[in-house]
Chains A and B, each alone.
Chain A
Amino acid sequence: MSVDPSGAPDSGRLRRLAPWLWTGGSLLLLLVLNSAVGPVTIPPGTVVRLLLDRLGLAAGPVDAPGTFSTILFDIRFPHTALMAMAGLALGASGAAYQGLFRNPLADPYILGVAAGAGLGAITAMTIHWPSTVLGMATVPAAAFVGAIATVGVVYRIARVGRSAPVTTLLLAGVAVGTFTSAITSLILLLSTSELRRAISWLLGGFSLGGWQPVLASLPYLLVGIGTLVALRRPINVLQFGDEEALQLGLDVERFKLFIVAAASLVAATAVAFTGIIAFVGLIVPHLVRILWGYDYRRLIPLAALGGGAVLLAADIAARTVLAPRDLPVGIITSVIGAPFFLWLLRRAKNEVFW
């Protein structure tokens, strides 16, 4: 019995590799381009050569101004890395939520992750703002606590007996998320300090700067994305519905809890370190599904790679359209993402959404 009966062996192999080449290739390309763009444009070739030189892989000395190296390694690379990681996180967690809830509208925000993280972060900002090193550590931590706490509340409300049905979960997510956002707005209105910076964090693309946030978020993202990628096969089984998955021998409730925890950890980390960036977690898994199918064994890692690429592209736009002003990247993803999402809905109206 052949595994992939489509086409000749060679073309079948190419077809299986193509999604990985596309998403992985785009991500690499955009990593370079994202680092190249800014107030001072650094040619992409120079970016690559300086990076190879630093890694000890360059063929010869690099002919570039010394400031380029400083700009790249102290400012651009940490920013690019953080954006790429946030994109990977949003793509992977979006695909996981959609698979978990068998609902194409589920995304990292449906469980109140963003709203909870926002409340946590704004609370920390109003208490500690403006803050120094201590503040840089407390804001993401508070966002993370807020996100996990909100997911916990939503899950408890949605529980009916031993399980949490999809509809109640989505409704509880919307209700709790709205409530939490209202509290956040209230705190913002009552606070007098640094409103602008807090709002820019809420709009997404807020960057703490330097390598510290990259290193701080890395372990969370490695554990979370690693878990999602490792558990991607049983997510396919969930697509038959909770009852059938249970009859197929999957311990459904325990499995769902693992996926919710891992996806929420990943999404909360992204929100905590880069602010609220909408639509990436929703759109990218959709695109991957349209292009390369529904198999979650591929969908989750491909959505992660695609999410990284898309967010880096949006970030380039955010830093160039009104240059020298930087826009919050969340505005770009929303302005492009919302109409794109409506187009997807129209396009898929006659297909079976799964």
Chain B
Amino acid sequence: MSAALVFEEVGVAYPGRAVLQGVSLVIEPGQVMAIVGPNGVGKSTLIKVASGTLRPVHGRVLVDGQDVADLEPSERARRLAVVPQATRVPPAFTAEQVVLMGRTPYLGWLDREGPEDRARAAEAMQRTHTADLAGRPMGELSGGEQQRVLVARALAQSAGVLLLDEPTAHLDLRHQDETLRLVRNLAGEAGLAVVIALHDLNLVARFADRVALLSDGGVKKLGVPQEVLTPELLAAAYGLEIHVMSHPIHGTPLVLAG
């Protein structure tokens, strides 16, 4: 199977300092890749580069073999969909309106949404269990519901790659679990390639196929959760003593600080 998303030696610099250097990653369809690492290490930056909103200084990101920087915004949005944090959602739009905006890359400035767009939006809402929220304004929804609507919007883009930036940052335990389970299932069912920047290492351990640990501007370790979430690697990256146990039920790594 060919790779859906490839980071080739990506380097990013903000004025005066290099943030990322020589980052190379390959994400296959159906795979969930988690990006982890301490604050300010460049997790969100990597998502921005992949989504084409930030141009790398070195290297490139390929989606279906094409450089994202060379693609028109609409062409890019048909291949890559971004799920942002649900912190600044315009509160007055209904869930359905928001999901329909996922069809933006398929519509000219003068076009209106057609039956095809409505069908895709409806399908996305079915798959994210948000159909019953259709007519409700976003401001009335819970954080978890808002996040699911934003996932539905990304699905409506019919893109092969899904990028998520800290999708669980403001969610409680149940909604964290719900959101990531949904993303995990979508990757499996629809063969989406998923890149997800995530703080919570225990969620990473349960839901990611592969983990890239970022530290000092580069990929320190890349592998399955058991390989990456080790006390030695994490202690070095986060500068803190860390214990890793086995999850009593799932058997996945359980990370404890201190």
Q: Which residue numbers of A lie inside 8 Å of B, CB to CB?
A: 1-6, 230-231, 233-234, 236-237, 239-241, 243-252, 255, 258, 293-295, 352, 354
Contacts and interface: CB of A to CB of B under 8 A. Distances in A.
Given A294-B92, A352-B91, A231 B78 contact: no
11 contacts: A3-B96, A234-B109, A236-B97, A243-B53, A246-B52, A247-B81, A248-B102, A249-B73, A250-B73, A252-B73, A352-B91
Contacts of A234: 104, 109
A237 B53 CA distance: 16
A251 B134 contact: no
Interface in B98-126: 101-102, 104-105, 107, 109-112, 118, 121-122, 125
A2 B76 contact: no
Contacts of A249: 73-78, 104-105, 157
B82 interface: yes
A351 B93 CA distance: 15
A239 B93 contact: yes
B139 A251 contact: no
B82 A244 contact: yes
A6 B135 contact: yes
B131 interface: yes
B90 A2 contact: no
B105 A248 contact: yes
B84 interface: yes
Nearest to B54: A243
A2 B73 contact: no
Contact of A251 (B53, B73, B118): B73
Given A240-B90, A241-B88, A293-B92, A2 B101 contact: no
A270 to B, nearest CB: 24
Given A233-B111, A240-B88, 8 more contacts: A2-B135, A4-B135, A5-B135, A243-B53, A247-B52, A249-B75, A250-B73, A295-B92
B102 to A, nearest CB: 7
Interface residues of B, number: 42
B147 interface: no
Which 8 pairs show the lowest CB-CB distances between chains A and B? A249-B77, A249-B105, A5-B135, A294-B92, A249-B74, A247-B82, A1-B122, A248-B104
Contacts of A6: 135
B51 interface: yes
A231 B73 contact: no
Contacts of A241: 88
B189 interface: no
Contacts of A354: 90-92
Contact of B96 (A1, A248, A251, A293): A1
Nearest to A1: B122
Nearest to B105: A249
Contacts of B74: 249-251
A245 B104 CA distance: 9
Contact of A233 (B89, B112, B135): B112
B131 A1 contact: yes
B70 interface: no
Given A1-B96, A5-B134, A247 B101 contact: no
Interface in B153-204: 153, 157
Given A247-B51, A249-B74, A294-B93, A236 B135 contact: no
Interface in B33-79: 48, 51-53, 72-78
B84 A244 contact: yes
A248 B100 CA distance: 11
Contacts of B92: 293-295, 354
Contact of A295 (B52, B75, B93, B112): B93
A236 B101 contact: yes
